[in-house]
Structure 1
């Protein structure tokens, strides 16, 4: 049976979709693996710098809090010694019950105040650690947003200069369904002519008996597409590839913490 290229506009059936891992394609003479590696390295360096700075600030705050706590404990020891000395003197000099009772109440009040100071110092250390975690979480989001904005800008410019770069994503998706007897490839109208010109390369991915149908899909945005077989749908959209990169960048940030 001959293989067919069909260029009619069609409405594709709704099937369950799955995505493919991020795949390399050329960006102005640079392989995307290299671009991705550079982006991940830059993200790691920036993340490490911010983490180091945050850790230094946190350690300084913790040292200060612990120093304050140490002063409080020292004050407790001094007050204990002071109260003990006063107790000896007061026991020797005080004969009246009311006076002795007042002393005991004063001592208990003093220890209660010191205990409160200790708890306050401990709370300072705890709140400093919590503030550090919030700081790290906030900066992680900023780094991820900046990295993704940079990646999208570079990829967008690369595709503008060389639209055929998208072909490698299409090929990778087709390789995922090489065992199927009938394959339908739906491409955004803006990229249909480009992919259609490369149909011989696409046919070369399959044995002669495989039927490959190519359709322009007007409801797709530029650089979006999907492949349909009897087993379901594979997403070959550029934005899906960017999502894969986002997950990799996020994993880098989490591993550096």
Structure 2
């Protein structure tokens, strides 16, 4: 299943692979895009005002020629910068949380079979050099992965694969066991990775 939207150059774009977009997905897209753009616009405004305040304070400090005046202007500059950072951090948190929730909604709407197979494929993509792997998933999702095994194997032809159910795992959980160790591909783990990636991207946008 194609991803409905993706982040490109700090903006949210609809994926060209998606032919039909659910109403809920489109609403999530619009809401997330609006917040991301608001963060970028506000961050640009704050940066500009901070630079102007810094230059004004610098000029006034030199013109006054007084140490006390320079100190006061420096303090004002620092206050402005801290306020700017705090404001952007609040917006960043809000936008990351919103986009993360939108992503979670889209994933939750996927059929269980498509979701777990996508998770397995994504995990296998991180260990392409391994020759043998045991795929462990929730007991209720073993059949889904087994049915898609030929398709999965065609994507990773150099690997031999076995599928096992693990009663300790929940739906959306996936562990890949190799001779080198265990790779955690749980959905919750991948969502955390998405959250971190969004935080970094929004931080760059500001």
With normalisation by structure 1, the TM-score equals 0.57
User: What is the number of equivalent residue pairs in this alignment?
Assistant: 181
Shift of 1:243: 2.6
Aligned to 2:76: 124
Distance 1:178 1:67, change over 3 A: closer
Structure of greater relative contact order (alpha carbons < 8 Å, 6+ residues apart): 1
Shift of 1:239: 2.2
Provide the secondary structure at the position in 2 that maps to 1:134.
helix
Provide the secondary structure at the position in 2 that maps to 1:130.
helix
Distance 1:117 1:163, change over 3 A: same
RMSD in angstroms over aligned alpha carbons? 3.4
Shift of 1:131: 1.8
Distance 1:57 1:215, change over 3 A: same
Structure 2 residue runs without a partner (length 5+): 13-32
Q: Of residues 186, 194, 199 in structure 2, which corresponds to 1:250? A: 199
* Distance (Å, rounded) in 2 between the aligned partners of 1:193 and 1:171: 15
Shift of 1:233: 1.7
* Distance (Å, rounded) in 1 between the aligned partners of 2:178 and 2:74: 63
Structure 1 residue runs without a partner (length 5+): 1-25, 77-113
Does the Cα contact within 8 Å between 2:58 and 2:73 map onto a contact in 1?
A: no
With normalisation by structure 2, the TM-score equals 0.69
Does the Cα contact within 8 Å between 1:178 and 1:206 map onto a contact in 2?
A: no
Please state if 1:47 is matched with 2:17.
Answer: no
Q: Of residues 91, 98, 123 in structure 2, which corresponds to 1:139? A: 91
Shift of 1:116: 4.1
- Residues 58-92 of structure 1: CA distance to partner in whole angstroms, max 9, x if unpaired? 467x28x749957x93xx8xxxxxxxxxxxxxxxx
Which has more radius of gyration? 1
